[in-house]
Structure 1
Amino acid sequence: MEREVFVKGRGDLVISGSGSTGGGEYNAVRISGSGRVNGDIKCIDFICSGSSKVEGSIHSEKIVINGSTKVVGDVRSKEVIKVNGSSVFEGNVYHRKFKINGSSRVIGDTTGEHLYLNGIVKMEGDCEVEYAKLDGSFKIEGLLSADKIEVELNGRSYAKEIGGEKITVQKIGSLSGFLDRFLKPLAKELTAEMVEGDAIELEYTKAKVVRGNKVKIGPGCIIDLVEYKEDVSIHADAQVKEKRKV
């Protein structure tokens, strides 16, 4: 994807102390103090190292949040959104890459190519990406959909529905066998109403329905119903109320 070039004469928006300004088109927006923007922003780079609030939308090539940012409108990034601090996006989020190392809340829907989580995220809408790598803690109140989903449990996580071609949920660093049963194996877990995919491998997951072609239910899982087309395996330390070949 081609990157926009800086436009001569368009100028930068820099807030290093405390201030407010209107929206507009800029080459770069840099906020290192406390800034408020009243209106929509279109820029090449949006970088916040302080505290900012945008009473509008952001349309940018790259968005980096090292401090705290709240955006009332939609957020669009052609390259990447990096949240190393905290963010609240009240509208929809569109991206190529969305990397969350801090904490983020998205009230609208999230749509893009790649989602990487090493922190905490709450999404009140749907999340539709091509690839999701989730190593932190998440709450997705709608659908989590991706071709490939990899979850490494590092806390309690929730998604109303999960759908994809290949879905893997693992509890990294857990002890196996006898000791694991006595050292709070459910301290890290995923809860979902529905998990549906082609190839599914789950650990420490609570779900009402798991549906797939090839399904592997690992330790710590509590599943009401497993529906499978080709093959199913269930660990001795898993609880499955009913399994059904369809």
Structure 2
Amino acid sequence: MNLEEYSDLKISDDIDSNGGTYRNVQISGDANINGDVTCKTLTISGDGEIRGRIYCQEDFKINGDVDIRSNVSCGTMKVMGDANIKGSIAIGGDLKIYGDMDIEGDINCENAKVMGDLEGKQSLLCRGNVTIMGDCTLGKDVKGKEIKVYGDIDRCESIVGEEVNIYGDVIAEKAIEGDKLYFHGEVECNGLVNGEEVYISMHGDHKIKEIGGKKIRVSDDMGKKKKLSISLFPFSISKGSGLCCDCIEGDDIMLKNSKVKIVRGHKIIIGEGCEVDKVEYTGELLVLDNAVVRESVIIE
């Protein structure tokens, strides 16, 4: 649809409307719209209540307060104010949240950046990358290619990405999955943490039910990439109590400051500050002097 042929809609006072098709829509007053809105761009700087669907081809900007009672489809979305959305959001490009968003449905977008607060009952699903520097609470999942959490995910079911970097605090009810996982903040997972490579820093307090992977490291050394990333922050990070876990399984495992019920793997190093009830290994086992392993079994 060529929306250049339509007129603009500008609302600067209190008005009730039945919706319609426009080129550019600007709301700086109070608007109650009782129908679908189709437009090229939509900017809300005042207060709005929209009871129909929104079809916005390009930019949707929320600088004021808006209540949307149905689904939203747009090119990009930027939230500087407060948005309360009863439906779902389909975004062709990027989502940026600097204010507050409450949403009942899924969010589908290219990339997402949350600098403010996001509270949703469903999932945040990104075809590209996810960056969370504020607070996020979701009823279901966070998915993307590269996921970086500098703020907090207070609750979600699962986090799934090719690479997951957690510098803040995260609670996941079911799983955290990716090719490479880096945990430097505090992570609580009541299910499985699974990756080809899993790196967990001793600076946080981590409570994880199960960990699976080829290469698993729980230590001070998070690698060169991790140190470069964390040096962006001006504050120092104090050492936490480490990792508590029911079961760890992997090919190459090195642990420090960890309390684990059972560790299974090929090459295993149980290091400083560890307490492990049982180790099952098929290759090599090294237990350092001050580590505690109550039982060890070699599997032929």
For the criterion TM > 0.5, the same-fold answer is: yes
> Residue 122 of structure 2 aligns to a residue in which SS?
coil
Note the alpha carbon deviations across 1:117-161, whole angstroms, 9 max, x for none. 111100011122111011111001100000000111222111100
Indicate the residue corresponding to 2:185 in structure 1.
136
**For each residue in 1:74-133, what CA deviation from the matched residue of structure 2 results, as whole angstroms up to 9, or x when unmatched?**
221011111001101111222111110000134322222110011110001112211101
1:18 alignment partner in structure 2: 65
- Report the Cα offset of residue 188 of structure 1: 2.4
Q: Please state if 1:226 is matched with 2:279.
A: yes
* Aligned counterparts of 1:110 and 1:134: Cα–Cα separation in 2: 13
Q: 2:263 aligns with which of 201, 207, 210?
A: 210
Bigger Cα displacement from structure 2, 204-213 vs 121-130: 121-130
- Hey, what does 1:182 align to over in structure 2? none
Check the 8 A contact 1:72/1:91 in 2, yes or no. yes
Structure 2: runs of 5+ lacking an equivalent:
1-38, 41-56, 223-237
Asked whether the 8 Å contact 1:62–1:78 carries over to 2, the reply is yes
1:73 paired with 2:122, answer: yes
- The partner residue of 2:149 within 84, 100, 119 is 100
Secondary structure at the aligned position of 1:236 is classed as: coil
Aligned counterparts, 1:1-246, within 5 A: 9=40, 10-21=57-68, 22-43=70-91, 44-171=93-220, 187-246=240-299
* Structure 1 contact 203–217 (Cα < 8 Å) conserved: yes
Provide the C-alpha distance between the structure 1 equivalents of 2:75 and 2:240, rounded to a whole number of angstroms.
46
Contact kept in structure 2, 1:136 and 1:153, CA below 8 Å: no
Q: Take 1:215 and 1:95, find their aligned partners in 2: how far apart are those partners?
A: 32
State the secondary structure of the residue aligned to 2:86: strand
Count of aligned positions = 228
Q: Distance in 2 between matches of 1:71 and 1:204?
A: 35
Question: Could you list the runs of 4 or more consecutive aligned residues of structure 1 that deviate by over 4 angstroms after TM superposition?
Answer: none
- AA aligned opposite 1:24: V
Amino acid at match of 1:40: S
SS in 1 for 2:272: coil
Q: Is the 8 A contact 2:142 2:156 kept in 1?
A: no
How far apart, CA to CA, are the structure 1 residues paired with 2:284 and 2:198?
20
Which TM-score applies when normalising by structure 2?
0.73
Q: TM-score with structure 1 length normalisation?
A: 0.88
What 5-or-longer segments of structure 1 have no aligned partner?
A: 1-7, 174-184
| SS of 2:71 mapped into structure 1 | strand
CA deviation map 1:34-70 (0-9, x unaligned): 1111211011111110111111110000110001101
Distance 2:113 2:158 in 1: 20
- Answer yes or no: is the 8 Å Cα contact 2:202–2:239 preserved in 1: no
Q: CA deviation at 1:172?
A: 5.3
Which structure has more relative contact order (CA 8 Å, sep 6+)? It is: 1
The amino acid of 1:188's aligned partner reads S
Cα 1:115/1:186, change in 2 over 3 Å = closer
Report the Cα distance in structure 1 between the residues aligned to 2:201 and 2:141, rounded to whole angstroms. Answer: 26
State the 1:206 CA deviation.
0.3
